[in-house]
Amino acid sequence: MLIKKGAEANLYLEDWHGRKVILKRRLPKKYRVPELDKEIRFYRTIHEPQHIHKAKEAGVPTPTIFMVDVVEATIVMEFIEGKQVKQILDGLSSEERQHLCRYIGELIGRLHNHRVIHGDLTTSNMILTSQGRVVFVDFGLSERSIEVEAKGVDLNLMKRAFQSIHFKYAEECFDAVFEGYAQVVGGSVAKKVLEKVREIGRRGRYVSER
């Protein structure tokens, strides 16, 4: 059953050997040269599970990968029972919201400490389970990097997600995320990353004003 039609891939909810799974399939793009299209889909189908595994090694909850089919550009992974953070964040008390956002910040810090850049940090790509875990999903745009620029871009995406989806609590949420992040990566690293986030924000304003 198709549950999400994305720009890069479609997600299907399926039964696979008695398990409820997500089947992520990267479909050919007609606007790309066929050989290049095949190479891109091959690359991303291989690298996404690798980044998910690295995130798991870092102590960040992620779906379990059951199968990778590079020929069909398809990944079969665990279906995570829970709700998107996007769906529940605004309905929490201020204390609950800040607690959740600090936890999310700690998880982002663990990713960055292990050189994993998520690439699409939004509250849509975080699932809160009934056990209180936040599971990060959709590593389709992820990469490996130790650069402050990459970390800043990652967190700037998170900040923009708050501003566009949770605008009433955007500042409160991002401050709490960064508090949790700083506890994990350390004050000196956090300071450099925050400066980069602000710099990226200024770049965006400059471009929009031109």
Q: What is the pLDDT of residues 101-123, one digit of tens each?
A: 999 999 999 999 999 999 999 99
pLDDT at residue 45, rounded to an integer? 95
Residue intervals of the chain classified under CATH 1.10.510.10 are 83-209
Tell which residue, 171, 44, 157, has the closest CA to residue 111: 157
Residue 18 — left, alpha, or beta (φ > 0 → left; ψ -120 to 50 → alpha)?
left
Tally of CA atoms within 13 A in the half-sphere of 16 that contains its CB: 17
- Choosing from 69, 120, 138, 175, the catalytic residue is 120
Q: What is the pLDDT of residues 83-95, one digit of tens each?
A: 999 999 999 999 9
Reply yes or no on whether the pLDDT at 206 is more than 50.
Answer: no
CA dihedral 210, 147, 48, 52 (to 10 degrees): -130
pTM, entire model: 0.92
Phi first, then psi: what are they for 3, rounded to 5°?
A: -115, -15
154 is catalytic: no
Residue intervals of the chain classified under CATH 3.30.200.20 are 2-78
Long-range CB pairs of 158-161, under 8 A, 24+ apart, other chains included: 158/108, 158/121, 158/122, 159/197, 159/201, 161/121, 161/122, 161/123, 161/124
pLDDT at residue 205, rounded to an integer? 55
Q: What is the pLDDT of residues 129-171, one digit of tens each?
A: 999 999 999 999 999 999 999 999 999 999 999 999 999 999 9
Reply yes or no on whether the pLDDT at 201 is more than 60.
Answer: yes
Q: What is the pLDDT of residues 2-40, one digit of tens each?
A: 998 887 899 999 999 999 999 999 988 888 898 898 898
Question: Which stretches does DSSP call E strand in 6-160?
Answer: 10-16, 19-25, 65-69, 74-78, 83-84, 116-117, 126-128, 134-136, 143-144
Across the chain, mean pLDDT equals 93
Q: What is the pLDDT of residues 41-64, one digit of tens each?
A: 999 999 999 999 999 999 999 999
**Mean pLDDT for the stretch of residues 60-71:** 96
The span from the CA of 208 to the CA of 188, in Å, is: 31
Residue 138 — left, alpha, or beta (φ > 0 → left; ψ -120 to 50 → alpha)?
left
pLDDT at residue 210, rounded to an integer? 37
CATH 3.30.200.20 fits 2-78, yes or no: yes
The runs of H, that is alpha helices, within 166-210 are: 170-185, 187-209
pLDDT at residue 208, rounded to an integer? 42
CATH superfamily of 83-209: Transferase(Phosphotransferase) domain 1 (1.10.510.10)
Contact 140/120 with Cβ under 8 angstroms? yes
